[in-house]
Amino acid sequence: MSRPRKRPEVALPPGCDPASILLTFPVAPEHAGQRLDRFIQHRIPRLSRTRAQEVVKNCAYRADGSRRRASDRVRAGETVILVRPSFEEPHVPLYFDVLFEDAAILALDKPAGLPVHPSATYHKNTLTYLLRQKYGPEAPQIAHRLDRETSGLLLCGKTRESERSLKIDFENRRVSKRYLAIVRGVMPDDSGRIELPMDRAKEGLHILMEVTPEGEGYPSVTRYLVLARRDDATLVALAPESGRQHQLRVHLAALGYPIIGDKLYGPEGVQTFLDYIDTGMTDALRHRLGHDRQALHAFELHFTHPSTGEPTTLRAPLSEDLVTLWGEPLSESTFASVGAC
C-alpha cells in the first residue's frame, strides 16, 4: 500500500484573526488560467457568479496576507486560500447527565450541540469547562472524543491512573463502541461491513474527510446492523473497527445513505455547512438538512474497568430529539441486538 497522501500545510495568512476558518483549494493543471471568481464558483457547489465575487472580495488572501481580486488568474500548483471571519461564541446546551460514577470513572450523556474541548469558536461553552465548574481543578479528564453535534456516551477518568488506562485502551482499540444513526433512504441489507479507505480531502475545508481509491489513504472499517426502517429512512447501529475522523459519516454517505442533518456529508456536500456559517440555522436550512444536527448518537461502550479489571458495558439512551425525528415507537426490543453489531 502506498503512503497516505499528505495535504499541503497552509498557514493562516499574517494579520488574520486566529479564530478564523481556513479553507484551501489546490489548483490542478486543467484549471490554470481561470479567473479566481470562476475557480471559486467551480469549487464551491451552488455558488452564483455574484456570490463568488463577494467571497473573493471578502475572503481571498495570498500566503503573505495580501488580498486577491476576482480577476486574478490562478496558476497550476498554487493553493487558493479563503479565510472566513470568526463569530461570537454561540449558545449551546450547558448541561450533561451523569450515567455512572465511582471513584475511578465518570460516564456522562453529552447533549447534541455541546463541544467537548475548547476551540477557536468555543471556550466556556464546552464540556471541559462544565466539568471544571462542577468538580473543580481536579475535574475528571475526558478519555476520548465525540463531535459537537453527536449526542451520547462519553467516558472520563477521575484519577490520573484511570485516565491513562482508559486513553491507552481507546488508542489501542480495546474499547468496543456502538453508535446509532438515522440515515436517508432505506438500507436494503440487514447487516454489513463497510471497508473503504479514508484520508483528508484534497481540497476545501481542512476538517473534510473523503473515501480514497484502493491502495491510498488509511484502512477504515465500519460494521452496521439495521434496527428499523421507515419509508424514507433507516435506524442503524454502527460499530467502527477503526477510528478515523468522521468515519461513520463518510462511510454511510459513500454507500448512498448519508446521516440526516449532516452539514458536511449530506446530499449537498459542504454547501450546507457554509450556509450554516453564514446564516445560522434557519427554517429553510433545517428543511434542506432534515434535522437541526446530524442524527448520530454514541449509544454503548464496552471496556475493561480501569480499577476493578471487570468487563463493563454502559449505554446512553437514544436522545429525545432523535426519538422525535424517527417519529415511530421504539421499544427496548429495538435496541436488544445492538451488541451483536
Give a three-class secondary structure readout of the chain.
CCCCCCCCCCCCCCCCCCCCEEEEEECCHHHCCCEHHHHHHHHCCCCCHHHHHHHHHHHEECCCCCECCCCCECCCCCEEEEEECCCCCCCCCCCCEEEEECCCEEEEEECCCCCCCCCCCCCCCCHHHHHHHHHHHHCCEECCCCCCCCEEEEEEECCHHHHHHHHHHHHCCCCEEEEEEEEECCCCCCEEEEECCEEECCCEECCCEEECCCCCCECCEEEEEEEEECCCEEEEEEEECCCCCCHHHHHHHHHCCCECCCCCCCCCCCHHHHHHHHHCCCHHHHHHHCCCCCCEEEEEEEEECCCCCCEEEEECCCCHHHHHHHCCCCCHHHHCCHHHC
Question: In the prediction, which pLDDT does 4 show?
Answer: 36
The type of residue at 17 is D
Ordered structural domains, the chain, with CATH: 21-84 (3.10.290.10), 97-333 (3.30.2350.10)
pLDDT at 87: 59
Q: Could you tell me which of 222, 227, 200 has the C-alpha nearest to residue 211?
A: 200
Half-sphere exposure (CA, 13 Å, Cβ side) for 87?
8
Taking alpha carbons only, the member of 32, 28, 26 closest to residue 74 is 32
The confidence score (pLDDT) of residue 52 equals: 87
Per-residue confidence (pLDDT) for residue 110, from 0 to 100: 98
- Mean pLDDT, each 10-residue run in order, the chain (341 residues): 44 74 81 93 76 88 87 92 76 96 98 84 84 90 94 96 95 96 98 96 85 93 98 97 95 98 94 90 96 97 97 97 95 92 91
How long is the chain? 341
The per-residue pLDDT for 22 is 75
Q: What is the pTM of this model?
A: 0.75
Q: What is the grid cell recorded at 213?
A: 481509491
The pLDDT of residue 19 is 66
Q: Which residues are catalytic?
A: 147
